[in-house]
């Protein structure tokens, strides 16, 4: 009898029978009568947990980074190119969302942190501040902490994610913020946690300790705090500084944009600004650490 080749599908299992026609017929009859029999007892392949899980996470997350997904969410690569998140907390929220298959399952801390490598954003500072930023996302009710390692996206987090992904791209944002205008309207960054934690002093406590006596010096103190104490890893822009002023609960300068220009002017020189990103200068460091603290700021 001639050879016979037969393909079968049982659920998710595919079988292929090939050989002498009479033998194939006999095997088919046995499958009909006895099912898979001993086939179900075949042991599953075993992989070392650490290397297999790490490789699987990286592979899956790279697919999320590079591909446009079927549910109309942009790829992480597109999100990164447009720089849509405004703070590190927003980045972590998006990482958790994408790593959890768009909020359909819980996600581990390791999976969230791995997304930094996928988007090429990992730095020593971000790694060191990862837990604080993650805690900030949880405290803002965007993520639920299911246990010490597992997290899930909350409905509030989904709303925030939709808002982030609907923003204009980075080139348009930079064009609007490159030059600070007198009539600029600043936005409050709600998920910026400026309170005192076990690892750092809060903004209010730090400003009360420094005791700046003018709006210029207060703004310089804020920039110093964000860079030297908080170790903020994103752009220290006008919105961030405005949020800090709101946190202090004191009267905000009527012309905050002008105040920022003065802080960076040759007259004061306490900060530098480049593309809307402020940084403290050596003169500003000396102001905070020596001039004000020694009572010379009259």
**So what's the pLDDT on residue 82?**
85
The Cα–Cα gap between 179 and 53 comes to: 47
CB burial string 111-150: b at 16+ within 10 A, e below: bbbbbbebbeeeeeebeebbebbbbbbbebebbeeeeeee
Does residue 148 fall inside a structural domain? yes
Does residue 174 fall inside a structural domain? no
> DSSP character for 37?
G
Does residue 265 fall inside a structural domain? yes
Residue 72 CB contacts under 8 Å (≥ 6 apart), including other chains: none
**SS3 category, 67:** coil
Label residue 68 left, alpha or beta by phi (over 0 means left) and psi (-120 to 50 means alpha): beta
Q: What domain range is 150 assigned to?
A: 52-167
**So what's the pLDDT on residue 31?**
66
Does residue 296 fall inside a structural domain? no
Task: Say if residues 244 and 221 touch (Cβ distance below 8 Å).
Answer: no
Count Cβ atoms below 10 Å from residue 68 Cβ, excluding itself. Answer: 11
Query: Along the chain (298 residues), what's the average pLDDT of each consecutive run of 10 residues?
Result: 62 63 67 54 42 46 47 82 88 93 92 90 85 89 93 94 82 46 76 90 94 94 95 91 95 94 94 92 93 61
Domain check: are 59 and 94 in the same one? yes
**SS3 category, 150:** strand
Domain check: are 184 and 273 in the same one? yes
Count Cβ atoms below 10 Å from residue 243 Cβ, excluding itself. Answer: 21
Does residue 204 fall inside a structural domain? yes
**So what's the pLDDT on residue 222?**
96
**So what's the pLDDT on residue 70?**
46
Which residues are 278's β-sheet partners?
A: 273
Using CB atoms within 10 Å of the CB of residue 87, give its burial: 0 to 12 exposed, 13 to 18 middle, 19+ buried: buried
Domain check: are 233 and 278 in the same one? yes
Domain check: are 36 and 74 in the same one? no
Using CB atoms within 10 Å of the CB of residue 69, give its burial: 0 to 12 exposed, 13 to 18 middle, 19+ buried: middle
Using CB atoms within 10 Å of the CB of residue 165, give its burial: 0 to 12 exposed, 13 to 18 middle, 19+ buried: middle
Domain check: are 123 and 204 in the same one? no
For the chain, the domain total comes to 3
């Amino acid at each position: 009898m001639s050879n016979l080749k037969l393909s079968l599908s049982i659920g998710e299992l595919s079988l292929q029978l090939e050989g002498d026609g009479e033998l194939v017929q006999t095997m088919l009859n046995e499958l009909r009568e006895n099912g898979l029999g001993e086939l179900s007892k075949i042991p599953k392949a075993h992989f070392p947990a650490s290397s297999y899980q790490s490789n699987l996470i990286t592979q899956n997350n790279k697919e999320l980074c590079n591909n446009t997904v079927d549910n109309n969410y942009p790829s992480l690569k597109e999100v990164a190119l447009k720089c849509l998140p405004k703070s590190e907390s927003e980045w972590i929220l998006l990482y958790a969302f994408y790593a959890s298959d768009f909020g359909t399952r819980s996600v581990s801390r390791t999976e969230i942190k791995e997304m930094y490598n996928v988007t090429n954003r990992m730095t020593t500072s971000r790694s060191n501040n990862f837990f604080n930023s993650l805690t900030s996302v949880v405290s803002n009710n965007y993520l639920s902490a299911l246990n010490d390692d597992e997290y899930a996206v909350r409905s509030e987090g989904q709303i925030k994610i939709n808002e982030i992904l609907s923003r204009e791209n980075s080139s348009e944002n930079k064009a609007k913020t490159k030059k600070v205008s007198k009539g600029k309207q600043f936005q409050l960054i709600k998920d910026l946690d400026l309170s005192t934690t076990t690892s750092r002093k809060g903004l209010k406590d730090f400003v009360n300790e420094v005791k700046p006596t003018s709006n210029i010096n207060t703004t310089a103190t804020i920039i110093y705090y964000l860079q030297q104490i908080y170790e903020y890893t994103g752009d220290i822009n006008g919105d961030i500084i405005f949020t800090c002023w709101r946190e202090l609960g004191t009267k905000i300068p009527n012309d905050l944009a002008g105040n920022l220009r003065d802080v960076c002017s040759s007259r004061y020189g306490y900060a530098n600004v480049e593309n809307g990103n402020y940084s403290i200068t050596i003169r500003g460091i000396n102001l905070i650490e020596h001039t004000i603290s020694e009572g010379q700021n009259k």
